[in-house]
Amino acid sequence: MSETLAVTPFSSLMGVEIVERSKEKIVGRLTVRDDLCTAGGILHGGAYMAFADTLGAVGTLLNLTPGRRTTTTDSSTKFIAGARVGTTVTGESVALHRGRTTMVWQTSIRNDAGKLCAVVTQTQLVLEGST
């Protein structure tokens, strides 16, 4: 399964693809394009963060009961290595906590060579309502 993500216009704009999803784990890919890079042709830190945030949000959405929505309240990123323009990064987001009012996801992002590039931990708040 590979699908372009339509959760938010921004994730579609970035080109986030979901390749695996369950209530416990989301796996996605992102092609490192020039417009997502720093001047040196390396994936921008904000792109890593937005990619991971999208994967954690998708995981949370899969766990929500009807009539609920989510928003990110906290995110922490550790940058370890770079990913060059023209390559693809893969993110694996796993649920550390799936509670009634919050969910915590940790995303490991790796480059084409399998080297760990970033680890992002985020908290998603579970909200009532659809707006």
Q: Which of 4, 1, 13, 24 lies closest to 106 in space, CA to CA?
A: 24
Q: Going from the N-terminus, what domains does the chain have, and what CATH number goes with each? A: 3-128 (3.10.129.10)
40-69 per-residue burial string, b: 16 or more CB within 10 A, e: under 16:
eebbeeebbbbbbbbbbbbbbbebeeeeee
**In Å, how far are 78, 95, 127 from 102, measured between CA atoms?**
22, 11, 9
pTM of the model as a whole: 0.92
List the pLDDT tens digit at each of the 131 positions of the chain.
444 455 678 898 999 999 999 999 999 999 999 999 998 999 999 999 999 999 999 999 999 999 999 999 999 999 999 999 999 999 999 999 999 999 999 999 999 999 999 999 999 999 997 55
pLDDT of residue 6: 56
